[in-house]
């Protein structure tokens, strides 16, 4: 009689210790691309000019200033197509994407599963072949998606308005500070309130973006129990306070149960509260920015909403704000009238553009 197959798997452990620990990532000893160059090889050909065009335009560069012609060809590698493919497939095998392994990430940044159907849909030509300057009537499907994502994030955050222009969490942080600055310019407090308070366990971009917008940064250190220090906050608050930016949970992973006290003190001191919610996986539907007293927050769609991280972008950081800050959000906006969507200018108070045209729509589509 054959031995049952379970006997094989039983051999994997001895006294609870694994016997098989032989995982090895591929290592190809792959040269640098330039070493693979073979003069004369081509990887892809450009469509040839039609003879009628050549006859009509014998030298299109004749009028170009002499110094504007390139005299030395760029020293790019010269490779056949399959050699390029093989090189990059080998390098891909030397990269440990989250699909292959549990990516514990770092700090507050944990990776989620990125469903394959999303990728398939994001690569549909009705998405990938859209030009950002197309007339609104030709992109009604995409504008509907924007609108739906706005509504979804308003529910998740409790905020009143959303912008999807930020191309990463850090750019959304930057965008939220630009909104803070515009709000202060509008109410005349920019000269007197120029300090932003953050904590050492909040993301480096929280401090860096505040500085970039011209704020002085005050950093709080944790109390004896590892929580953000409420007394330190009291000591830091003053008439110079413009805002608090804080993560919760911080990189320690522990929810700050006094968060509403933090935001109340900042509000009473005359500042705004900004919540860095790059990664909100553990809190969706449990607790929100609004109830905790925040005026702004942001989400990374590539962390909290199942879109891939792509070696570090492309990505989307969604900015969410309360009603009083809505008019400062980036331009343009998507507005709906019945079932027709249009793209309109952000208005005179808008901070304008923070990134090129419209956001990473593939990422947004995948978040729906």
Backbone phi and psi for residue 264, each to the nearest 5 degrees, phi listed first: -65, -45
| 208 forms part of the interface with other proteins (CB under 8 A) | yes
| 87 forms part of the interface with other proteins (CB under 8 A) | yes
| 114 forms part of the interface with other proteins (CB under 8 A) | yes
| 64 forms part of the interface with other proteins (CB under 8 A) | yes
Residue closest to 245 by CA, chosen among 194, 201, 204, 206: 206
Minimum CB distance to other proteins, residue 177 (Å): 10
Of 262 and 326, the one with the shorter C-beta distance to other proteins is 262
Minimum CB distance to other proteins, residue 1 (Å): 33
Backbone phi and psi for residue 149, each to the nearest 5 degrees, phi listed first: -65, -35
Q: Which residue among 160, 222, 267, 310 contacts other proteins (CB under 8 A)?
A: 310
- Host H or E run for residue 84: helix 81-93
| 230 forms part of the interface with other proteins (CB under 8 A) | no
Window 144 to 163, contacts with other proteins (CB under 8 A): 144-145, 148, 152, 155-156
Query: Which residue do the tokens 């935001």 mark?
Result: 263
Binding mask 266-295 for other proteins (x = CB under 8 A): -------------------xxxx--xx---
- Part in contact with other proteins (CB under 8 A); list of ranges 10-18, 164-172, 237-245, 266-274: 164-172
Tokens standing for residue 192: 């007197």
Using only the alpha carbons of the chain, give its radius of gyration.
26
- Part in contact with other proteins (CB under 8 A); list of ranges 53-61, 228-236, 238-246, 267-275: 53-61
| 70 forms part of the interface with other proteins (CB under 8 A) | yes
Distance, CA of 151 to CA of 332 (rounded, Å):
17
Residue count (the chain): 368
The footprint of other proteins on this chain (CB under 8 A) covers a number of residues equal to 155
Minimum CB distance to other proteins, residue 142 (Å): 6
Q: Which residue among 108, 149, 162, 170 contacts other proteins (CB under 8 A)?
A: 170
Query: Which residue do the tokens 């292959």 mark?
Result: 100
Which own/partner contact pairs does 285-293 have at CB distance under 8 Å and 24+ positions apart?
Answer: 285/156, 288/156, 288/157, 288/158, 289/157, 289/158, 289/159, 289/320, 290/157, 290/158, 290/159, 290/322, 291/158, 291/260, 292/248, 292/259, 292/260, 292/263, 293/259, 293/260, 293/263, 293/264, 293/267
Q: Which residue among 12, 13, 42, 335 contacts other proteins (CB under 8 A)?
A: 42
| 109 forms part of the interface with other proteins (CB under 8 A) | yes
Q: Which residues pair with 298 in a beta bridge?
A: 276, 319
Q: Using an 8 Å Cβ cutoff, are 19 and 10 in contact?
A: no
Q: Which residue among 11, 19, 24, 129 contacts other proteins (CB under 8 A)?
A: 129
Q: Which residue among 4, 11, 188, 312 contacts other proteins (CB under 8 A)?
A: 312
Of 237 and 354, the one with the shorter C-beta distance to other proteins is 354
Q: Which residue among 173, 243, 319, 343 contacts other proteins (CB under 8 A)?
A: 173
Q: Which residues pair with 17 in a beta bridge?
A: 14
Q: Which residue among 3, 20, 257, 338 contacts other proteins (CB under 8 A)?
A: 257
Of 132 and 347, the one with the shorter C-beta distance to other proteins is 132
Q: Which residue among 259, 280, 329, 343 contacts other proteins (CB under 8 A)?
A: 259
| 99 forms part of the interface with other proteins (CB under 8 A) | yes
Distance, CA of 216 to CA of 234 (rounded, Å):
17
């Amino acid at each position: 009689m054959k031995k049952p197959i379970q006997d094989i798997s039983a051999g994997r452990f001895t006294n609870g210790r694994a016997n098989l620990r032989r995982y090895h990532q591929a290592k190809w000893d792959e040269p640098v691309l330039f070493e693979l160059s073979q003069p004369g090889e081509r990887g892809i050909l450009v469509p040839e000019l039609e003879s009628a065009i050549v006859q009509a335009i014998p030298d299109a560069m004749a009028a170009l200033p002499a110094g504007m012609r390139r005299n030395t060809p760029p020293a790019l590698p010269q490779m056949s197509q399959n050699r390029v493919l093989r090189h990059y497939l080998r390098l891909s095998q030397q990269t440990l994407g989250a699909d292959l392994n549990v990516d514990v990430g770092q700090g507050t940044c944990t990776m989620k599963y990125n469903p394959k159907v999303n990728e398939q849909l994001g690569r549909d030509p009705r998405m990938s072949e859209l030009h950002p300057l197309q007339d609104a009537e030709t992109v009604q499907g995409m504008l509907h998606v924007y609108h739906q994502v706005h509504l979804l994030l308003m529910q998740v955050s409790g905020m009143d308005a959303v912008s999807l222009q930020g191309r990463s969490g850090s750019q959304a942080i930057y965008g939220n500070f630009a909104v803070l600055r515009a709000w202060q310019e509008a109410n005349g407090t920019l000269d007197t309130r120029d300090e932003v308070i953050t904590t050492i366990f909040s993301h480096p971009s929280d401090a860096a973006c505040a500085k970039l917008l011209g704020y002085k940064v005050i950093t709080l250190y944790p109390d004896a129990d590892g929580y953000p220090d409420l007394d330190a906050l009291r000591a830091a608050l003053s008439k110079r306070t413009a805002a608090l930016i804080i993560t919760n949970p911080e990189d320690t992973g522990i929810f700050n149960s006094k968060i509403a006290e933090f935001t109340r003190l900042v509000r009473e001191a005359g500042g705004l509260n900004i919540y860095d919610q790059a990664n909100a996986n553990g809190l969706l539907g449990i607790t929100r920015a609004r109830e905790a007293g925040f005026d702004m927050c942001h989400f990374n769609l590539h962390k909290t909403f199942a879109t891939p991280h792509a070696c570090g972008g492309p990505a989307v950081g969604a900015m969410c704000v309360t009603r009083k800050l809505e008019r400062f959000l980036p331009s343009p906006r998507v507005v709906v009238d019945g079932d027709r969507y249009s793209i309109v200018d952000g208005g005179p108070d808008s901070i304008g553009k923070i990134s090129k045209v419209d956001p990473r729509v593939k990422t947004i589509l995948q978040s729906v």
